[in-house]
Structure 1
Amino acid sequence: MCLAIPALVTELLPDQMAKISLDGVKKTISVALVDDVAPGDYVIVHVGHALARIDAEEAEKTLALLAEAGALATLEPEGRA
């Protein structure tokens, strides 16, 4: 079983890389598989790669469900505190 989770893109970097934030954790990932990613977008992340963009409403719902299940520390998606 694999788990891919939504994360907020905070910065684009050279070489098709980006910085993301998830529940306060910041990480650098590849965005080579997704076209037209911009800061402020949510992407689905799996093993360090963005697989697709996801709209903010769907990302927030998913993050809230993960938080409710205890997989995340807070119920507030990034930027909603």
Structure 2
Amino acid sequence: MCLAIPGEVVEVLPDRADLAKVVVSGVRRNINISLLAEDPPAPGEWVLIHVGFALSKVDETEARAVLEFLAGIGQSYSDELDAFEDSHID
């Protein structure tokens, strides 16, 4: 099962406007934000991430609700977090 997981943007990379550093459950990774070019996320904003791409912005309340739900479904969420932790976009 593939899931979109919420992450908080902590930095837009200064030399790569299409990439942002996000935190998902304590894991920091670069993700591609080019799909949101018309309204790019800023540090402190939350995005839904799937296969290394930010698909949409979400507010913090919705992001936390999704994280709680995902934690409750167990193994699928754990698998998605493992895949996120193993991913690298440079």
Query: Which interval holds the TM-score relative to the shorter structure?
Result: 0.7 to 0.9
Query: Which structure's residues are more often strand, by fraction?
Result: 1
Tell whether 2:2 aligns with 1:2.
Answer: yes
Structure 2 unmatched runs, 5+: 79-90
TM-score by length of 1: 0.80
**Amino acid in structure 2 at the alignment position of 1:7:** G
Deviation per CA, 1:25-80, whole angstroms, max 9, x where unpaired?
111011111123100111010111101001111110000111122225xxxxxxxx
| Corresponding residue SS for 2:55 | strand
Q: 1:59 maps to what in 2?
A: 63
Cα distance in 2, alignment partners of residues 59 and 15 from structure 1? 23
Query: Which structure's residues are more often helix, by fraction?
Result: 2
Identity %: 44
Structure 1 unmatched runs, 5+: 73-81
In angstroms, what is the RMSD of aligned CA positions? 1.4
Tell whether 2:65 aligns with 1:69.
Answer: no
Tell whether 2:42 aligns with 1:38.
Answer: yes
- Work out the number of aligned pairs and report it: 72
